[in-house]
Amino acid sequence: MALSFFRKDTKPAGNSDALESFLKGYSIEVMPRTAEKVEDFRALLPKGTRVYIAHIEGTPIEEMVATAKRIGAEGYDVMPHFPARIIKDKATLTDWVGRYKDVGVRQGLLLAGGVATPHGDYHSSMQLLESGAFDGFDRLHVAGHPEGNKDIDPDGSDRAVMEAARWKSAFSERTDAKIAMATQFCFEADPVIAWVDRLAAEGVKLPVHIGVAGPAKLQTLIKFAISCGVGASLRVLQKRAMDVTKLLLPYEPTEFVAALAAHKAKNPAFGIEQVHFFPLGGIKTNATWVTENGGASGVPANQA
């Protein structure tokens, strides 16, 4: 049955050209278990959308590859996660890369992963970049941390995080790899703008794909924000939770994304290149919000 929100003939009231331009080419993240609930991604996402597949510890590589194969066959650029700390050794890494190549995958997000103790030889995305295992991949993304990362900088600074960002930027310049920095989701525009400007001042030339939490219940977002280590901008959610008139309303990222879009429109060289969505309230809900705010929608499967 066709879904009712594929296309709208007119822009919604208040939608701006800046917001529409900012949302163009957005990416979105799924897990194998959430992807299973989507009958056909073509009914939700524009053809060619980059779809990240999160590799949570314990997920069999067979499930990851099957999900990548299915989504790729529906017309999407698939970018599976490669969490360094759950990869045992070079043989395992080579095996994973080979399996993905066999189903047409040529992109990957390389990150340390949320595991405290490495399962084997790798503990950082830099080791994965240097491994040589990704020869033949077209694009390799790495993680970005607008609010720092206490696992990497326990003292609360961003010294090690920024040093790693400079290393990755230099790596991209001395190789032919297309590298971008995909960030954790944030909720407040001003700290993100300051962080992106700081990257530029530090000589980091990697384009930023800013993480955005899709529409979801406030309680859901607070839970994910705490578990994912989102720090400073969590106060935005906490402030909203104290307002009884908003407590029961679902959160939407409109204000956050619009502020970044306006800044980008005024400063075209600003380092954010794309928006990357974490659909914490569901893929359909996220896709509907993008469509209603000027982003491209999916098309019915029978018209794809």
Please say whether the beta carbons of 188 and 233 come within 8 A.
yes
Give domain limits for the chain.
Answer: 17-294
Segment 186-205, tens digit of pLDDT: 888 999 999 999 999 999 99
Amino acid 43: pLDDT: 94
In one-letter notation, the amino acid at residue 226 is I
Share of the chain above pLDDT 70, in %: 80
* Residue 52 exposure: Cα atoms within 13 Å on the Cβ side: 28
Segment 58-72, tens digit of pLDDT: 999 999 999 999 999
Amino acid 159: pLDDT: 82
Q: What's the gap between Cα 108 and its chain centre? A: 12
Segment 234-287, tens digit of pLDDT: 666 656 555 544 555 678 999 999 999 999 999 999 999 999 999 999 999 999
In one-letter notation, the amino acid at residue 98 is G
pTM as predicted: 0.86
- Higher-scoring residue by pLDDT: 168, 219: 168
Amino acid 235: pLDDT: 64
Q: What's 52-88 look like in SS3?
A: EECCCCCCCHHHHHHHHHHHHHCCCEEEEEEEHHHCC
How far is 195 from 152, CA to CA, in rounded Å? 17
Q: Considering the chain, what is the average pLDDT of its residues?
A: 85
Amino acid 6: pLDDT: 30
Angle made by CA atoms 72, 212, 292, in degrees to the nearest 5: 80
pLDDT above 60 for 304: no
Amino acid 300: pLDDT: 40
Amino acid 144: pLDDT: 93
Domain 17-294 - what CATH class? alpha beta
Amino acid 11: pLDDT: 42
pLDDT above 70 for 149: no
pLDDT above 80 for 228: no
pLDDT above 50 for 12: no
Segment 16-65, tens digit of pLDDT: 789 999 999 999 999 999 999 999 999 999 999 999 999 999 999 999 99
